[in-house]
Chain A
């Protein structure tokens, strides 16, 4: 890897899809129409928990303009008794029931039927004419309530100690012996923390447009974090073979993990199949908030023990996560990531997957890890205070490094965690003075990152330019990174490279845009494909020059004769060789398909300053610095963008965002007015420090960067609030009413 002389890697180039996006031309999921298209709408359960005795669709079907109605009968049933049918991390038994309620409706907003009609208004009217006979059941939402004896049970088949239970899964990782470890500890800090469910908050609602021909050939236009996931899930849920489904990835208007499963596509496919017409479905914001995402609410009990010199000797975490209606909360992230930044001899980390009557969780940026890190990093802050140690020094003293065995299994290779701590400690932010009612907090975080399947094609056009096709929806600028890498390898201007996201029938299988894997994995396959192309180009030049291919080198976008023929021939450029291609062996291109390996985990350390308005209970973040080991910043602007975006989401999670449920078990704030995500005036500039410790297992040194930045944020904000007020909050969000309640408490007591 030629780090010093890189021409394009590390440059802030203009992204390939940029002009389309600043001119309004980019086609997102809801932006496409088809001739003859009709509109689909979903009828959703008003109840948090109800048995569906019967559904009568006759009146809806009779309404003029209605072209098709579907219910669970039209969706393939993966019966519970037959056991798990996994697609990635999703069990299709739950997926088929999540897209369309089967035996029971399990949350308000759970689909029970769908209608397609000539207009949206008729489709909505028809939904009202569907008669559903519900047996309304007692419901439960909060974790503690769901685990109480006698709690309403969502899935009766699931038994714990012989009794039906809402505890659907457990996971533990372990290292050493915590009993022995805590016995050695001189100081122990233990607390219980809670967080509320928060939504990924993408601005683009889920949408799709689907056409099914009479022979079953299906075209899906939708935005998702994986067109191949859309194809596979739709195939499994409708029975149409994958070879007949062309899933075309629209531009995606944000996902953050929330678009890694299907909601509408199987319903629209069946409506299109039944009606013979293309069907378009677009969720309202309210539907997005009630029936998609969010991530888990949680309860975490964390206990950490240390010696007086600051050596951490034992750690125990118990993380209870709300899965929503079906099993599958991200306990793996909470259990595996929370203690990973530290070299602790004795660790027990346990996760509990708790079902309750709210929408099924979807992945959200480092799923589970921010929840676990919030508890662990707050406990560490308190531990540092008790030890009279600087919180970064405490972390440095116990930092994981090359050779550390993480509790979740791996032995870390060369990692950059210590570098992030040093960079934070030496940053001017850390030494800057603070004013009255201001405070500073720090926290660290880890995320696994992922490799997996990716495919790419690199084709040389007849005029000597380049088209790169990959299979991953570009969610944050990955096309720009790929253009930089391909330009670097070929030695040509990045503007000569067009980067395209292929559909399922034109590019090889590529797994989800998720796990911070896209640039890691796709640059691996693009690098191999480009290397193959360069070999072909060298061979072509060798043939023209009648010399050995080994005596041809590729440099600055052209083939040059190398020793012993150096200087004997004029270089042949990419354009020259493309022009001569027809007579020299034909088209030039290569495709590579890999199951990529070597995605190493990522670490970050954040510094947050807050100011508390004690009159109004408002916490304002006034300065923020995110430091992260990013491996190699192929396009620094989009790497910074990942850090800044993750930080903003974490600030929202810490300070305002939460699902609020009313007495009927329904979400009371299903819109952007009351579900309060950070707006521009809520935030300061978000500073980034990119530490580059290259990943030795990647051709460009790339590590995933997208998810780590959310992991430390809530703890950093929370620790800053403690530093400002001298009062610690153990429950998120620290929203104005909750902050005021705590601040006013002593006053109230005094007044009494």
Chain B
């Protein structure tokens, strides 16, 4: 079967790529597009390391076909900072040491940003349930939850 031609937008830039019908969005991001910030931990939607947004909706890119990106807007971890200016969540993750090995961090940040866009003032319970789809094996989540709550408070204040 011939490859599919996909026209989409990734982190605000128009993008075209060819893919197999069975390629996942994660395959296309990491392969054709060279955006390896999204990680593959399970390829079954259980770990969240490949989290991206599709038209502002949080999805596991391993559960989405690359061809489904046609005409939509994709955002990944690579689009989170503006030039050398980090997003407040990225800065707060650094200050709180909310990462150890860093393999889950891209997905955690993308998921956290999606939460704060929906809910500027989440409770600890809301943060914990929102991030329940993002596995971290290093931190026990404590510093991640604190970093997200504190970012939310600062962004509300700003």
Contacts and interface: CB of A to CB of B under 8 A. Distances in A.
Interface in B84-113: 86, 90, 93-97, 99-106, 109
A746 interface: no
Given A203-B135, A645-B137, A22 B101 contact: no
Counting chain B CB atoms within 10 Å of each CB, the highest count among A22, A25, A27, A476 belongs to A22
23 contacts: A12-B95, A21-B99, A24-B36, A24-B76, A24-B78, A31-B36, A200-B137, A202-B101, A203-B103, A204-B41, A253-B103, A284-B43, A475-B101, A477-B97, A477-B100, A480-B97, A638-B97, A641-B143, A644-B143, A680-B129, A680-B134, A680-B136, A685-B145
B94 A648 contact: no
Contact of B100 (A20, A200, A645): A645
Given A17-B102, A475-B100, A672-B42, A677 B76 contact: no
B138 interface: yes
A27 B36 contact: yes
Q: Which secondary structure dominates where chain A touches chain B?
A: loop
Given A24-B77, A203-B41, A285-B41, A681 B129 contact: yes
B81 interface: yes
A19 B102 CA distance: 10
B115 to A, nearest CB: 11
B44 A679 contact: no
B46 A673 contact: yes
B interface residue count range (under 10 / 10 to 19 / 20 to 34 / 35 or more)? 35 or more
Contacts of B19: none
A476 B41 contact: no
Nearest to A649: B137
Contacts of B128: 680-681, 683
A686 B142 contact: yes
A647 interface: yes
Nearest to A473: B101
Given A201-B137, A205-B41, A284-B43, A23 B103 contact: no
Contacts of B103: 28, 202-204, 253-254
B104 A203 contact: yes
Contacts of A202: 101, 103, 137
B47 interface: yes
Nearest to B94: A18
Nearest to B99: A21
B58 interface: no
A343 interface: no
Contacts of B137: 200-203, 254, 256, 645, 648-649, 677
A252 interface: yes
Contacts of A203: 39, 41, 47, 49, 101, 103-104, 135-137
Nearest to A674: B46
A644 B136 contact: no
Nearest to B126: A681
A26 interface: yes
Given A205-B41, A641-B138, A23 B86 contact: yes
Contacts of B125: 681
Interface string A261-285: 0000000000000000000001011
Given A202-B137, A637-B96, A254 B80 contact: no
Contact of A285 (B43, B76, B127, B139): B43
A12 B35 contact: no
A676 B81 CA distance: 33
A485 B148 CA distance: 29
A628 to B, nearest CB: 14
Contacts of B104: 203
Contacts of A637: 96-97, 143
Contact of A671 (B44, B95, B146): B44
B132 interface: yes
B99 A22 contact: yes
Interface of A: 12, 14-15, 17-28, 30-31, 200-205, 251-256, 282, 284-285, 475-477, 480, 635, 637-638, 640-641, 644-649, 671-673, 677-683, 685-686
A528 to B, nearest CB: 27
A123 B97 CA distance: 40
A19 B106 CA distance: 11
A285 B136 contact: no
In order of increasing CB-CB distance, the 4 nearest A-B pairs are A24-B37, A253-B103, A21-B102, A648-B140
Contact of B46 (A200, A253, A254, A672): A672
A512 to B, nearest CB: 16
A200 B135 CA distance: 13
Contacts of B41: 203-205, 253, 285, 672
Given A680-B141, A681-B125, 10 more contacts: A22-B99, A22-B109, A23-B81, A640-B143, A641-B138, A641-B139, A672-B46, A677-B137, A680-B128, A680-B132
Given A12-B97, A22-B86, A681-B132, A285 B102 contact: no
A256 B136 CA distance: 13
A39 to B, nearest CB: 11
A730 to B, nearest CB: 26
Interface string B7-47: 00000000000000000000000100001111111111011
A205 B90 CA distance: 24
Contacts of B106: 24
A740 to B, nearest CB: 22
A637 to B, nearest CB: 3
A672 B138 contact: no
B138 A254 contact: yes
A610 to B, nearest CB: 16
A645 B97 contact: no
A644 B101 CA distance: 14
A203 B144 CA distance: 16
Nearest to B148: A680
A477 B35 CA distance: 24
B131 interface: yes
A204 B105 CA distance: 12
Given A25-B37, A204-B39, A680-B145, A252 B140 contact: no
B134 A476 contact: no
Contact of B97 (A15, A23, A677): A15
A646 B100 CA distance: 12
Contacts of B138: 254, 476, 641, 645
A547 to B, nearest CB: 44
A673 B86 contact: no
A22 B146 CA distance: 16
Contacts of B40: 30, 205, 282
A22 B93 contact: yes
A476 B90 contact: no
Contacts of B136: 203, 680
A645 B86 contact: no
Given A21-B102, A285-B42, A475-B101, A14 B78 contact: no
A637 B40 CA distance: 27
Interface string B114-158: 000000000011011101111111111111111000000000000
A411 B47 CA distance: 45
A282 B90 CA distance: 28
Nearest to A688: B142
Counting chain B CB atoms within 10 Å of each CB, the highest count among A18, A20, A30 belongs to A18
Counting chain B CB atoms within 10 Å of each CB, the highest count among A12, A251, A253, A477 belongs to A253
Nearest to B77: A24
Contacts of A15: 94, 97
Contacts of B140: 641, 644-648, 678, 683, 686
A722 B96 CA distance: 35
A7 B18 CA distance: 54
A253 B39 contact: yes
A12 B100 CA distance: 14
Interface in B28-84: 30, 35-44, 46-47, 49, 76-78, 80-81
